[in-house]
Amino acid sequence: MASNRTARDRGQSQAAPRRLLARVRDVMAESGAAEERLDHITEIIAADMVAEVCSVYVRRAGDVLELFATRGLKPSAVHNTRLNVGEGIVGDVAAKARPLALADAQAHPNFAYRPETGEEIYHSMVGVPVLRGGRVIGVIAVQNRTQRHYSDEEIETLQTVAMVLAELIAGGELISRDELMHPDSAEAKPVRLEGLRLNAGLGMGTAVLHQSDHHIEQLVGEDAEAERLRLAEAFSDMHGALDDMLGDGDMVEGGEHRDVLEAYRLIAEDAGWLRRIEEAIDTGLSAEAAVQKVQNDIRARMGQIPDPYLRERIHDLDDLAHRLTAHLLGVNGDAAESDMPPDAIVVARSMGPAQLLDFDRTRLRGLVLEEGSPTSHVAIMARALGIPVIGRVRNALAEIDNGDTVIVEADQGHVLVRPGVDALSAFSEGMRALEVQRAKYAELHGLPAQTLDGETIDLRINAGLMIDLANLEATGADGIGLFRTEIPFMVRTRFPRVDEQTELYGQVLDEAGDRPVVFRTLDIGGDKILPYWENAAEDNPAMGWRAIRMSLDRPALLRQQLRALIRAAAGRTLRVMFPMIAEVAEFDAARALLDKELAREKARGAPLPDDIHVGVMLEVPSLAFQMPALLERIDFLSVGSNDLVQFLFASDRGNPRLADRYDPLSPILLKYLKGIVDQCRDADIPVGLCGEMAGHPIDAMALLGLGFRRISVAPATVGPVKAMIRGLSLEPLVQFMEPLYDLPDHSVRERLRTYAADHGIPI
């Protein structure tokens, strides 16, 4: 009986908003003027919610909320009552993009009395934002004479109606679309915009404004179960399409793709995402309208969170919502993308990494974003593809029009819109210099990474997908210094079987041929969540339950991977390393599992690898204090500079406020690494470094001066790093750096830059 009653109650609670939505939909379909329909809708809302007042405010240029329709306030207040965003209760709702329900509105500190409205006789009030694309474009306010407590169901209903009302406001009949989207549009004159370099480079082309919003015609769903089924099918299709895209051969030129698949992670990270969409469908929305409503709410809420890492995840979730909506609507790509000019500069508020891959990279010359950070996934993907990117360009979409000529000077963080003759001439000179530089890098392809005094450097690349293997030949690298095995796990909708892993690792070894490949065991957990593996949220995922910690707690997971690696390397050399090792005991436990799998395969009579090299990634600073014991147990050591730097300085590398706080070329880090290198040399254990640090020529030069002779970099940086190596004499550099380790300086970068200039070393 209880369950039947619950189901009946749920059905009744869902029926009320569905009836209201149906009435609002009918009004939306009427042929009258937009303001007449808006007036009718306010009457319907007031009647349905048994409220004396319902008012609709529309956001105008200059961050002003103008009263456009009311039922209950004085009619003369329409178009005469205006509030700034943040002013009054209505302005507070708009500023925070969140609903606000008050039993006694006049007692609220933000209450702003407007005598022309006659609202002094009304006490209780609930306001909800009207959202489109995560941006507040209006506010719906409901008021009652008595001190009424509005229920969660009433607020949810009002939010659902706001979702539908957003289409009327955005339709261009109440206010122009130009004012709505570009309230401060620029005149047709040259403009220079400032931003933050997300990826270096120089590009010029025709502006293509990228808007992620799809036009949704069917906002109300007639059959909730049918809409849920459409959602499930679109969700499955989206995963399949992403799998196909990521395996597409035209990504070969890209390089390192380690984070492009993080979009998958977000579905699991926000475990309630799909459930919340289904709940929105139950209120009467169509599947696509439900996706948009939930995403609007998530964007508005997460935009208030101070944590920059979480704010950056909005863009990836936007990407997913955009894709899911496209599958629901049967839309393939955006018009702007299909009509791309030969030389395109894409301008967007934000962008997910997979969205970047939708564009024809042969035509893409640059990317300008209103948001973004150097550690955002789209920035990392652009870095791999060699596309110059500038982020945090304020009002880029308002200042730049489709078809404008735009120059992206990413190194300086400048965006030149409608440039003059002088700027065009300077760009041409800069591009000629870049072409000369690229030609020099191409000439180095078949040459060894050897210093002027005859020291050969083992220059390898990082990889994570089969498409990355083509970069071995394209760059002339000596091997793969880091193969991130977690990425193939992240592209699947289930845990890959041992035979599937074996096939993959075998293909990697086949493609590499005689070149070495170092497989890093799974670095999942923390912020790298598999889409099919439920995991609890953590306050600090980078330092949480991840990598070897998860593998040792779930030994079957690691044993299956090691089994696959052993079988794939049968008759060949297997190089495997364990990540995030904090103490020797963890390595011993991981090595014991490897030995068990070797014994298991031997007992089966299966062929074994001819040789096995077992190593460790030094990412956790504590491991350095057990180096003597560690070096007795390992065959090689690889320093993971990305995590090591953030742990050593207690500095979250995902926080843009700390992005430039600490320099890898600090005497602190250099002295730390020097101690590691010296101990490895004395123990005759090869030591290398993989991470972003190795991909910058000046940083790589410092690493060579410390004693590193093996570095692994993103494929796109092989050319400049090799050029630096071939222009360097090691012995003078080693001597120059000796006095630097004990300096109290914040950084020795400028000293090294001066040294390179004085000695003609290309950095």
Strand partners, 346: 208, 367
Which residues are tagged catalytic?
377, 690
Contact 670, 689 (CB under 8 A): no
Contact 366, 386 (CB under 8 A): no
Torsion-angle region of residue 352: left (phi > 0), alpha (psi -120 to 50) or beta?
Answer: beta
- Could you tell me whether strands 196-199 and 389-391 are parallel, antiparallel, or unpaired per DSSP bridges? antiparallel
Strands (E) across 261-374 are located at: 344-348, 364-369
Structure tokens at 134: 């995560």
Angle CA 136–368–697, to nearest 5: 135
- Beta bridge partners, 194, equal 414
Half-sphere exposure of 378 (CA within 13 A, CB side): 34
CB 382 within 8 A of CB 367: yes
Query: Distances from the Cα of 103 to the Cαs of 90, 100, 123, 124, in angstroms?
Result: 15, 10, 7, 4
Q: Are 137 and 59 in contact (CB under 8 A)?
A: yes
Cβ(583)–Cβ(623) under 8 Å?
yes
Give the strands of the sheet with 53-60, arranged side by side.
Answer: 82-84, 64-71, 53-60, 135-144, 124-132, 100-102
C-alpha Rg value of the chain to the nearest Å: 29
Side chain identity, residue 524: I
Determine how β-strand 124-132 pairs with β-strand 135-144.
antiparallel
Beta strands in 440-532 (DSSP E): 458-463, 480-484, 517-520
The order of strands in the sheet holding 405-409 is 191-194, 414-417, 405-409, 202-210, 344-348, 364-369, 389-391, 196-199
Among left, alpha and beta (phi > 0; psi -120 to 50; other), residue 176 is beta
Amino acid at 492: R
Q: What's the start-to-end Cα distance of the chain, in Å?
A: 76
- Given a contact cutoff of 8 angstroms between Cβ atoms, the answer to whether 309 and 652 are in contact is yes
Which 8-state DSSP code applies to residue 546? B
C-alpha distances out from residue 501 to 248, 332, 483, 488, 687, Å = 20, 32, 13, 9, 28
Apex 225 CA angle, 224 and 226, nearest 5: 90
> Of the candidates 451, 532, 525, 448, which has an alpha carbon nearest to the alpha carbon of residue 486?
525
SS3 state at 218: coil
Calpha distance 380→199 (Å, rounded): 8
Contact 64/182 with Cβ under 8 angstroms? no
